[in-house]
Amino acid sequence: MDAQIKNFTSPFEKGELITPEQAMQLAIEVAKLGAPYVSPNPLVGCVVVNANHEFINYGFHKKFGQDHAEADALKKLSPQEIKGSTFYVTLEPCAHEGKTPSCAKTLAKHPVKKVVFGLIDPNPLVSGQGAHILIQAGIQTEEYQGPLKQSLNELCEVFLKNYRDKKIFIAMKVASSLDGQVALKSGESKWITSAASRTYVHELRSYYDAIIVGRNTIEVDDPSLNIRHPEINKENKIVVIDPSGKILDQIAGGKEFNFLKVNKKENIFFGVSKKNHDSDFQQIEFSNLNDLTEKLWHLKIRSAFIEGGAKTYSLFLEAGLVHRLYLFLASSIIGNQNGVSWTNAFGITSLDSKLRLKSTDVLKFGSDILITGQLN
């Protein structure tokens, strides 16, 4: 399936004078356009300015196996434009040949004056080597040290977690009332947040390799769990946490859940405590959530998006396995009496151990507020 890239218009005209921060900010923005399709590669964007520091082009990594950002930007440039140019790249140009040629070696063949890269490649086998190739070729090369450093780290958070810790990156989305309720005890939960928030959730789903849901959410909500977004075509993997195989039993008994109708069987996994089911669905035997996430890593799943419900949210928090939270807050109050809180099975005993969000961003979707930040 070809990558369908979201519409994007550069905020700068060709020939417009821009600052180094504007160049790096645009490189970050265009890198994000590849988010549904580049895994297990990092998101990378690139902006090129000419000898007068006028914007001339941008490029980004669009899909795994396709051109890297630098090659994408170079494709559209004439030799005259490249002469004396500066490349702003979000990540150190790669030194190694993989599915595509080395970006550092490609840039070294052109009359580029300078390369400013956002982060050193975390892969210890290639870290610093891309910069070395560029310096050897006489290109001024420096690591960006300006105010966008944190944004650059966030852009690469999945790749950094994967490379530094050899672990899956886990994001969690919660759609809650102002008082932290994600459903009613009766099971009713449609809808707490607005249509605009829900469309954005479909985009967020596409940023990660897999969606994780608890058994009860499948039974109560019967969700489809596919990506329904007008500008994105991607099929995710789905992991249903079903320790006793209750969902598998219902499927065996003929129940046709919605997520089975719209997702390919090879993309669906069941986390079970024991593989004792007469089922031809893929089963991952796990003893606890650390074990499950390690097994997902071995299945080459590099990132996951937890979609609920309350118990699943709480147990992932309790296990310290959540790296990014997306909390959509609707401007409504449901109350604890008949509501289900997304932290109902999570607790701390002293305020010193409260979980804190870092690098928090706040966005608005209609009357909803999205608070997102890093955990751990």
Ligand X SMILES: NC(=O)c1ccc[n+]([C@@H]2O[C@H](COP(=O)([O-])OP(=O)(O)OC[C@H]3O[C@@H](n4cnc5c(N)ncnc54)[C@H](OP(=O)(O)O)[C@@H]3O)[C@@H](O)[C@H]2O)c1
Touching ligand X, residues 216-235 (CB under 6 A): 216-217, 220-221
**Quick one: 157 or 307, whose CB is closer to ligand X?**
307
Q: Which residue has the tokens 């030799």?
A: 79
Residue environment code for 286-306, b if the CB has 16+ CB neighbours within 10 A, otherwise e: beebeebbebbbebebbbbbb
Partner residues linked to 372 by β-bridges: 326, 361
Residue 319: CB minimum distance to ligand X, A:
7
Residue 192 binds to ligand X (criterion: CB under 6 A): yes
Closest CB to ligand X among residues 137, 346 = 346
289 in contact with ligand X (CB under 6 A): yes
Report whether 37 contacts 64 (CB < 8 A): yes
Per-position x/- string for 25-64, each x denoting binding to ligand X as judged by CB under 6 A, each - no binding: ----------------------------------------
DSSP string over 187-244 = S--TTSS-HHHHHHHHHHHHTSSEEEEEHHHHHHH----S--BTTB----EEEEE-TT
Q: Is residue 339 within the footprint of ligand X (CB under 6 A)?
A: no
CB 309 within 8 A of CB 279: no
Q: Does 283 participate in binding ligand X (rule CB under 6 A)?
A: no
Which of 28, 48, 225, 340 forms a contact with ligand X (CB under 6 A)?
340
User: What amino acid occupies position 187?
Assistant: G
Nearest to ligand X of 219, 235 (CB atom): 219
Is 97 labeled as catalytic in the residue annotation? no
Q: How far is the CB of 283 from ligand X (least distance, A)?
A: 14
Alpha-carbon distance 16 to 55, whole Å?
5
Smaller CB distance to ligand X: residue 36 or 309?
A: 309
In the list 24, 46, 170, 310, the residue contacting ligand X (rule: CB under 6 A) is 310
For ligand X, the closer of residues 44 and 247 by Cβ is 247
Q: How does strand 181-184 pair with strand 339-341?
A: antiparallel
**Shortest reach from residue 54's CB to ligand X, in Å:** 46
Q: Give 67 or 242: the residue with its C-beta nearer to ligand X.
A: 242
Q: Which of 29, 70, 154, 307 is catalytic?
A: 70
Q: How far is the CB of 187 from ligand X (least distance, A)?
A: 5
Quote the CA–CA distance of 80 and 139 in Å, as a whole number. 17
How far apart CA 62 and CA 68 sit, in angstroms, is 8
DSSP for residue 137: T
329 binds ligand X (CB under 6 A): no
Would you call 99 helix, strand, or coil by DSSP? coil
Report the site for ligand X in 124-183 (rule: CB under 6 A): 174-175, 182-183
DSSP state of 334: -
> Would you tell me which residues interact with ligand X (CB under 6 A)?
174-175, 182-183, 187, 189, 192, 214-217, 220-221, 241, 243-244, 246, 289, 307-312, 315, 340
> Which sequence positions are flagged as catalytic?
70
